[in-house]
Amino acid sequence: MRAFSSSQEKPAAVKNRIYTPFGLPLPPSAPPPSFLCFPTIRERCPWPTGLKPADLYNHSVRRPDDFETYKLLSTSARVPLLTFWTASYCSTCRAVSPILEELINAGVGEEEGGVSYCELEYDSPDIMSSGLGMTYMITSMPTLLSFDRGEPQTDTKVTDPRKLKDREWLKEWIRTEARRRGGGGGGASPAKGLFGGLFGGDSK
């Protein structure tokens, strides 16, 4: 992913992406965020000069406070937050993670309104001790769960490794979640025809 100075024009392909909110306050423990400005607050997010491309890549969330920050930012921007729950022992997680990042970085879901994205390390000490996984009923690795207006969209939670490795399936899932645009369950109907009502019930 390229980094741009504030004086450079951003390509059309990245206009609706979620970019790192460097101008917004983050908790002291927060790792470098994974994305640039949310579309609705992009003009308030400065593009720092001298930033290395590596600084813009996703860093896994290891603390509940950092996750709450991501949720707050996505809710404020009316953009769904896609969360990918991983664990250090999970080989499937390591296979799926780059697929998700590639699709999101390629702009999947932008035409539908855009999405934000972060990975959560389920077995990190702070996440484990907080019971965050239990709060959102995360019972297997990996799990893909969307949040809209800060609320988990459990009807479209995905745990099936075959679906998580299927690029075309993931593309439609991302687009479906992007259509929510802070409207809760509004993203289900477009995918219903393609998946035979999959998003009306269990996506596992």
- The count of domains in the chain is 1
| pLDDT confidence of residue 81 | 95
| pLDDT confidence of residue 60 | 82
| pLDDT confidence of residue 59 | 59
Asked whether residue 49 is assigned to any structural domain, the reply reads no
Asked whether residue 138 is assigned to any structural domain, the reply reads yes
Asked whether residue 69 is assigned to any structural domain, the reply reads yes
Asked whether residue 39 is assigned to any structural domain, the reply reads no
Contacts of 59 (CB under 8 A, 6+ apart): 31, 32, 33, 34
Asked whether residue 113 is assigned to any structural domain, the reply reads yes
Q: Is the overall model pTM greater than 0.75, yes or no?
A: no
| pLDDT confidence of residue 189 | 36
Q: How far apart are CA 198 and CA 77, in angstroms?
A: 27
Asked whether residue 173 is assigned to any structural domain, the reply reads yes
pLDDT along the chain (204 residues), means of 10: 36 41 42 39 36 43 94 92 97 97 93 94 97 96 97 97 98 96 54 36 55
Both tokens of residue 8? Answer: 């450079």
Residue at token pair 């490795």: 165
Asked whether residue 102 is assigned to any structural domain, the reply reads yes
Any idea what the CATH number is for the domain that residue 139 is in?
3.40.30.10
Asked whether residue 38 is assigned to any structural domain, the reply reads no
User: Quick check: 189 and 183 in contact, CB under 8 A?
Assistant: no
Q: How far apart are CA 127 and CA 86, in angstroms?
A: 11
Both tokens of residue 116? Answer: 């934000």
- Domain coverage including residue 145: 58-200
| pLDDT confidence of residue 181 | 82
The rounded radius of gyration (Å) of the Cα atoms in the chain is 16
81 phi and psi angles, rounded to 5 deg: -105, 115
